[in-house]
Amino acid sequence: MANGGFTRRCEADLLPANQDAWALRNEVIPLPGTEEGYARARFLGTTGAGKTTLVRQIIGTDPATERFPSTSTAKTTVCDIEIVLATDTVFRAVVTFFPREQVRMLVEECALAAATTSLFEVGKLTSPTSRLLEHSEQRFRLSYILGGVKERQGELSDEEDEDSGPSVDELPEVTEAERLAMAEQISQYVSRIEEIAGETLMQAEKELGVNLKRMEKKELDTFQELFEHALRQRDDFHGLVDEIMDRVEERFSMLAPEGFRRDRSDWPLLWQFETTDRREFIKTVNRFSSNYAPNFGKLLTPLVQGSRVRGQFRPDWLGDCECKLVLMDGEGLGHTPDSSASISTNITQRLNEVDAVVLVDSAEQPMQAGPQALLRTLAASGHENKLIVCFTHFDGVKGDNLPNATAKKEHVYKSLQNAIGSVREVLGRSAENALNRTVSERVFFVSNIQDPIKEKAKMTLDELRRLVVAIQATIIPPPPATVTPVYDVTNLILCIPQAMNAFRDPWRAKLKLPSRSNVSSEHWTRIKALSRRFAEQGMFEYDTLRPVADFILRLSEHIIVFLGSPLRWEPGHAPDEMKQQVVDEIARRVFTDLHELAAQRLFHERVKDWAAAYAHRGTGSTHERAQDIDGIYDVAAPIPGEAANENASKLVADVMAKVKDSVSKSGGVFQ
């Protein structure tokens, strides 16, 4: 039907082609590595900890006049940014973009959220306009591209973003007339969405013989899903989404056309740019990373999958010291509620390609769940020797029991030791000891880095210089290991059921199925959004829902315990550091291989099953979808038991093959 009905709209059978954005950027600006004497450092930390601010200090960009990369107290950095500190005078940049299909899905979800807000979220501090302009994940903000709404006069606030001050190189590009026109256009979009939503509601109530205002909570959830489905069947709704997409695509015309490389549908894959003018360069690249509100309507930030820049970046405080670094920044870890949460595969799949992982955490509230989850992941994957920890906001550490800087450092450091101690509960004492050895000389404390650092800030300047030296030292290879671990395959087989149970039980809790886990259940809309991404976009996660990453981490956690406890070492008197070096090498190989295994089992072999799970509608659909997803896991991630099970046998064989191959390549043997 053109304007309603509950018949399912036909979806394309083929998933959008996945592009390797990392490879695209490498074609234009290859990342230098250890061969050229460069150290690659990935900066990670919770939202607001100051990791991007720290990156600014190391590359020497002015926080007032350049403001690159952008920072804020809210979630700001949502794409990968790679910065090569070079000595040549040419500044170069390459930017890769999200595929058209993914951008359209996000625009559609924003429009859908705007339509449901006034009907199903009465009393909440949201509006249809805010829902249209900002996706619930806070990664995609249409306001950056389309502009904002008219400011409310006389609104009171005590808050101010870190980057709210004036900027020389980022003066407003949007005129007042353009701003008003954009606001009017957005108002028209919202009015049309509300009109379409109202018509859809009336038709749905009539067809189903119900009244929205008289519904109970359970009935309301079912009706909302049917309402959203009916809305997605309407041609006028999709016509509106197409109009918004046209406005989005128009924004690419602000860039020089010769810089683009496009796909077969003429959607931009990448854009490249170079100049010898630093001022012009910063102004141009800020269009792809800025959160500067006066330029809303002419920013491309939400469309950027990743950007890479190369140029003469260097802080004044470094003096004549060599600084051959590649700094990688990206989305924060988020405020994860659980230290056992998994880290996104967007991060973990690149761990092999970095030399240092700089965990940036706030000294005021150090080592919350997100940083703990990262420690656990690094230890389980054999990458703990890359860890460097930098505590920001050290100036905020105060207390009557902390009379001097040494006492404050010890106070903050204890939180790190406690977090490392918690790793022992899952990964064993050897993992704890390895982390402690790594961080013993790699913990740094800095204050007030949001501003240019003055000469009198001697502690912070010294810590920053030592941090740069520590990052560069990570490329120094360790001495060769001359010790061989000998393993028993039986012990490997026994750890797989434990790993799969650790994966499956929390997911049953998330799906509101019987479980012994204390993990909270997820709202049906989030589970539905996850299934849609698997079914239609070839994406492995939605916000904090990461089944592929969970599968990898749970297996890694149990395999690292196995690897760290061989039957014997030959020779047995080898030092613990050398033994750990061999275990880490094996674990890194296994961790890399598990990414391929997890993607194959949970996604590539199960795409049709995810589509079937997403397709459920109406009464009972939430439970049916949950059962379908649990069924996917039952095939892809079965828990091996005493009874014969073909799927479990295949899983055990696959894992054993990966581990045996990694052990063999690293010089270990199976008895």
pLDDT tens figures, 186-245: 999 999 999 999 999 999 889 888 888 888 877 888 888 889 999 999 999 999 999 999
630 and 532 fall within a common domain: yes
At residue 75, the pLDDT reads 52
- The answer to the question of residue 67 being in a domain is no
DSSP 574: S
Q: How many domains does the chain have?
A: 3
Q: Give CA–CA dist 578/590, Å, rounded.
A: 19
- The answer to the question of residue 425 being in a domain is yes
CATH number for the domain harbouring residue 436: 3.40.50.300
Ramachandran angles phi, psi of 387, nearest 5°? -75, 130
500 and 441 fall within a common domain: no
134 and 275 fall within a common domain: yes
Residues whose CB is less than 8 angstroms from the CB of residue 370 and which lie 6 or more positions away in sequence, other chains included: 45, 46, 332, 333, 334, 335, 336, 341
Among residues 261, 295, 311, the one where a domain terminates is 311
Q: Partners of 445 in the beta sheet?
A: 391
- The answer to the question of residue 157 being in a domain is no
Low-confidence stretches of the chain (pLDDT beneath 70): 1-18, 71-78, 122-125, 150-171, 335-337
Supply 435's token pair. Answer: 């982390």
At residue 332, the pLDDT reads 80
Q: Give CA–CA dist 361/264, Å, rounded.
A: 43
Among residues 473, 497, 513, the one where a domain terminates is 473
299 and 385 fall within a common domain: no
Domain that holds residue 417: 31-60+314-473
140 and 23 fall within a common domain: yes
At residue 568, the pLDDT reads 95
Q: Give CA–CA dist 109/193, Å, rounded.
A: 12
Contact 205, 215 (CB under 8 A): no
- The answer to the question of residue 81 being in a domain is no
569 and 621 fall within a common domain: yes
468 and 367 fall within a common domain: yes
DSSP 606: T
Q: Give CA–CA dist 118/64, Å, rounded.
A: 40
CA distances from 47 to 462, 527, 569 (A): 25, 24, 43
At residue 158, the pLDDT reads 43
491 and 630 fall within a common domain: yes
Among residues 473, 506, 535, the one where a domain terminates is 473
456 and 512 fall within a common domain: no
